[in-house]
Amino acid sequence: MNPGKPHQNLALIGVTGGVGAGKSTVAKILAETLDCPIIAADELVSELLKTTQVLDLIELMFGSEIRLGPQQLCREALAKRVFEDAEARRQLESLLHPRVRQKIWQTILACQNQGNAAWVVLDIPLLCEGGLDRICDFVVHVRVPAPIRQSRACARHGWTAEEWQGRENAQIAETEKAKRADAILDNQAGLETLTPQVLALVPQLHRLAPRPFLERWPSWDQDPLS
């Protein structure tokens, strides 16, 4: 974190992109370069899926075969269920999304109150879908053609092409995400060409005017203000 005078406000940087685009890689480079925190929604979901309360509710929704033990979920079985069944996905989202949203809100507010960072990077796959791009001061979109993203994601996670497509279909179109972005990075060639693109954004990010967080998102259960 940045030493010296505490920061009273924050600049929020959102990272978007399709499934397998490399959003988390960009978020990490930004956070390391700016010496600031990352809020990663996937990590928050993983934490929730280890809590007894959430596991019990998921078991009630989808049956005992979804659960492997007292605090263990069969993630593969759950993913297969929800990405093949739109109604099952909506049920799971109704359970998880409000809890994740609340945690994101609490974490950003804590970062501001601690006053030791001028920026926070948001690595949230459904940033635009949840309207959280509206709380950001700068949005970075990571662009990679769909066939490359599919190949990378399937190799990394062991997914089938159908499993990748199910996740892709759960998000808004790439073109819409790109329209909402302040910068678009090309990640076709990988880290060697991606890193210089990310670093080139840093002067712009240093010029952002930090704003009070609660003025843009007063409460976790409200829609962010435009």
Q: Which domains does the chain have, with CATH numbers?
A: 11-215 (3.40.50.300)
Sheet of 183-186, strands arranged across: 38-40, 119-123, 11-17, 138-143, 183-186
Whose tokens are 């033990």? That residue is: 69
Q: Do 182 and 33 touch, CB atoms closer than 8 A?
A: no
Question: What are the tens digits of pLDDT across the range 7-37?
Answer: 679 999 999 999 999 999 999 999 999 999 9
CA atoms within 13 A on the CB side of 71: 6
CA dihedral of residues 163, 164, 168, 170 (deg, nearest 10): 20
Looking at every residue in the chain, the average pLDDT score rounds to: 92
Task: Give 64's DSSP letter.
Answer: G
Whose tokens are 């970062």? That residue is: 111
**Is the dihedral angle over the CA atoms 208, 211, 213, 216 positive or is it negative?**
negative
Average pLDDT over residues 157-186: 93
Q: Given a cut of 90, is residue 83 above it in pLDDT? A: no
CA dihedral of residues 45, 47, 51, 57 (deg, nearest 10): 0
Q: Given a cut of 90, is residue 64 above it in pLDDT? A: no
Whose tokens are 């990988």? That residue is: 190
Q: Given a cut of 90, is residue 144 above it in pLDDT? A: yes
Could you tell me the CA-to-CA distances from 120 to 34, 110, 213 in Å, in that order? 9, 11, 11
